[in-house]
Structure 1
Amino acid sequence: MNVSQAMKERRSVRAFQSRIPSAEDVQKLIADAALSASGGNLQPWRVTALAGEPLRELTDAVATAQPADDSEVPHMSYPPSLWDPYRSRRFKNGEDLYRTIDIPRDNKAARLEQLARNGLFFGAPVGVIVQVDERMGYAQWLDLGIYLQSFMLLATERGMATCPQGYWRRFRDTVEQVLQVPQPYRVAYGVALGYEDTEAPINTLRADRAPFEEWADLRGFG
């Protein structure tokens, strides 16, 4: 599989098989993703991968924890009062997702239950938590995004599936306590990792993309 194929095949998977990737495969994936570019070669990521009992310890702790308010967590998820076209894209993506599992908009309880599955890494056998020194700035958060993209594409190439999750920032105090994250590192994001359950309806979602003309233009070409 080449990079172009991995780009086309990668997607956020929200239902996984119970099969656990080997420690060797997970370590190689984490290490190979660190070949990503970073400004000044700072390599501002710190990565913890969990499986088995350590994973259960984390998910159990988060299940009973009080989430932080959005205002308390920098870079939570989305800007307040999101505007178009971004608001419409987010709305459509959510509706398309819930449609795959037959949860109508007025079933708030079922939607919240599905949201809470973030705290189980959607049943993935491996949970990955990426951390960053809290003194780092905007540019280093861009580097974290580059690392995440590399991680996901490499996982796709190797037959694994992923789902990136900003959800874990909401529970960063609990996560950092359970994992004994050294100061001054803070949770940046999580990634569910494993093998896709291809029979799960939720994995039929295929998010669309805005047309090129909506967000790009070419200038100075013949």
Structure 2
Amino acid sequence: MPTPASAFTDIVQARHSVRSFLPDPLSASDIRGVLEDAQTAPSNCNTQPWTVHIVSGAARDALSKEILRADEEGRFSPDFTFDYADFGDGAYLDRAHHHAATMTQAQGLKREDREARKVVARKGLEFFGAPHAAFLFMPTFGDGVRAAGDIGMYGQNFLLSLAARGLAGVPQTQLGFYADTVRDFLGVPEDLKLLFGISFGIADETTPVNNVRMDRMPLQQSVVLHDTPSILDA
């Protein structure tokens, strides 16, 4: 019988981003359970700044069509900036490039085949076939950083709860590039900003891209100890 610590570790290490889903919808009890788990996330001053919209069924299909249309017409409306150049020339950019190259290879794409890459990118706007998608909105308190951090913790709870149930999800910055389109469709007020979306459901285990596991840097590269027993020598 695993201890609580080992059970948690198993879930954390099993969780990964899935990019191909079965069409089968999840039960209402599973979705509610995931939302209840996500709701326990900590937040600055207990502000709980998340507003979450879930789309399924006909609403999911219709929203995907609206986002695809916005993409075709070049109607990008991100609430937050995203630019690879912001990563600088060091480790952050290297990791981003490694991730892109790994995903390109896993999907059988060639770097120079722009049309094929575009087709694959549009799968994300179809929620990778997932039957459900969650859109995470936040208010802008000050510079928004603290609220965004809270949304990140909510999203992690959401993803880990899916994994604990044998389900899968993928956080998608890409969905945030069409914030106005999503807001208009869902009737969300302008003062709530779209940080990202999560497509979720049951993973299609037959798809090669779902076998990808991105590595993580060693603790020695991210942790600095101060008067702490040495735990990084092993």
Question: Shorter-normalised TM-score: what interval?
Answer: over 0.9
Structure 1 stretch displaced more, 152-161 or 1-10 = 1-10
5+ residue gaps in structure 2?
Answer: 1-5, 230-234
Do the aligned partners of residues 188 and 2 (structure 1) sit closer, same or farther apart at CA in structure 2, a change above 3 Å counting? same
1:92 and 2:98 are equivalent in the alignment: yes
Separation in 2, partners of 1:80, 1:200: 32
Kept in 2: contact 1:76–1:169 (CA 8 A):
no
| Count of aligned positions | 220
Alpha-carbon distance between aligned partners in 2 of 1:76 and 1:130, rounded to the nearest angstrom:
17
- For residue 76 of structure 2, the aligned residue among 58, 68, 75 is 68
Alignment of 1:1-222 (within 5 A): 2-65=7-70, 66-68=74-76, 73-76=79-82, 80=86, 82-135=88-141, 137-222=144-229
Q: Give me the CA root mean square deviation.
A: 1.7
Could you give the per-residue CA deviations for residues 76-103 of structure 1, whole angstroms, max 9, x where no partner exists? 3656363210111111111111111211
TM-score in terms of structure 2 length? 0.88
Q: Secondary structure at the match of 1:63?
A: helix
- Counterpart of 1:125, as a letter, is P
Question: Are the structure 2 counterparts of residues 106 and 53 from structure 1 closer, same or farther at C-alpha, using a change threshold of 3 Å?
Answer: same
| AA matched with 1:174 | T
CA contact (8 A) 2:52 2:137 kept: yes
> Does the Cα contact within 8 Å between 1:135 and 1:184 map onto a contact in 2?
no
One-letter identity of the residue aligned with 1:112: K
Q: Do the aligned partners of residues 4 and 77 (structure 1) sit closer, same or farther apart at CA in structure 2, a change above 3 Å counting?
A: farther
Q: Judge conservation of contact 2:79–2:193 (CA < 8 Å) in 1.
A: no
* Consecutive unaligned residues in structure 1, runs of 5 or more: none
Identity of aligned residues (%): 26
Following superposition, which runs of at least 4 residues in structure 1 exceed 6 angstroms of deviation? none
Cα distance in structure 2, aligned partners of 1:182 and 1:30: 22
